[in-house]
């Protein structure tokens, strides 16, 4: 069984005057965004190499892990991470998917990481991660299975941090 932690952390961005609070997620003690970066890195490095001429003389961007954490409103008491995701445009989400990470530009669905969240009586399972704009094979990411009581407790705890 995996462990999960949720916490609100400030995020400084170009599109807001003040830092915004985002939901940091740790799976087994490692930030979700770092786990995603590791899974995406081989594909992003290949793409960077293939697109080198398009950006010369500067290097092509390395897109692995280029996401922003979900905004605080996606956390508790919302049900987004409990099997009832906020709606995103139909062309980004397959049935049963939940947005896990968003774009750094401030438009959630611009560059998103999606996954399936299955909420059972005693467990919560995250699986089938994918980037909405790249066909990268993220099968090395997850699946993660959490104790539902521990998961809900961690999610509720993050709500009191503002």
Please report the DSSP string for 36-88 in residue order: HHHHHHHHHHHHHHHTHHHHTTSPPP--TT--EEEEGGGSTTSSGGGT-PPP-
Looking at residue 12, what is its pLDDT? 81
Looking at residue 88, what is its pLDDT? 66
Domain boundaries of the chain, sorted by first residue: 4-159
Looking at residue 104, what is its pLDDT? 84
Looking at residue 67, what is its pLDDT? 92
Q: At a CB cut-off of 8 Å and minimum separation 6, what does 147 contact?
A: 1, 122, 123
Contact 86, 78 (CB under 8 A): yes
- Measure the N-to-C terminal CA separation of the chain; round to a whole number of Å: 29
Looking at residue 85, what is its pLDDT? 86
Please report the DSSP string for 94-161 in residue order: -TTEEEEEE-TTS-GGGS-EEEEEEE-SSEEEEEEEEESS-----TTS--EEEEHHHHHHHHHHHHTT
Tens of pLDDT along the chain (162 residues)? Answer: 999 999 999 888 777 788 888 999 999 999 999 999 999 999 999 999 999 999 989 988 888 998 999 988 899 998 999 988 887 655 566 677 899 999 888 777 788 999 999 999 999 999 999 998 899 999 999 999 999 999 999 999 888 755
Looking at residue 90, what is its pLDDT? 53
Looking at residue 124, what is its pLDDT? 98
Contact 45, 62 (CB under 8 A): yes
* Cβ density class 23-57: b for 16+ within 10 Å, e for less: bbbbbeeebbbebbbebbeebbeebbeeeeeeeee
């Amino acid at each position: 069984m995996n462990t999960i932690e949720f916490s609100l952390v400030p995020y400084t961005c170009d599109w807001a005057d003040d830092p915004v609070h985002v939901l940091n997620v740790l799976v087994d003690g490692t930030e979700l965004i770092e786990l995603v970066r590791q899974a995406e890195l081989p594909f992003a490095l290949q793409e960077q190499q293939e697109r080198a001429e398009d950006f010369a003389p500067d290097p092509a961007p390395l897109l692995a892990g280029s996401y922003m954490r979900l905004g605080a409103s996606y956390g508790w008491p919302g049900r987004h991470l409990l099997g009832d995701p906020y709606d995103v445009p139909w062309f980004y989400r397959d049935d049963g998917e939940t947005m896990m990470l968003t774009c750094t530009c401030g438009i959630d669905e611009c560059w998103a990481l999606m996954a399936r969240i299955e909420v059972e009586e005693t467990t919560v399972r995250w699986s089938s991660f994918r980037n909405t704009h790249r066909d990268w094979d993220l099968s090395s990411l997850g699946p993660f299975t959490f104790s539902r009581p521990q998961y809900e407790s961690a999610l509720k705890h993050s709500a009191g941090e503002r």
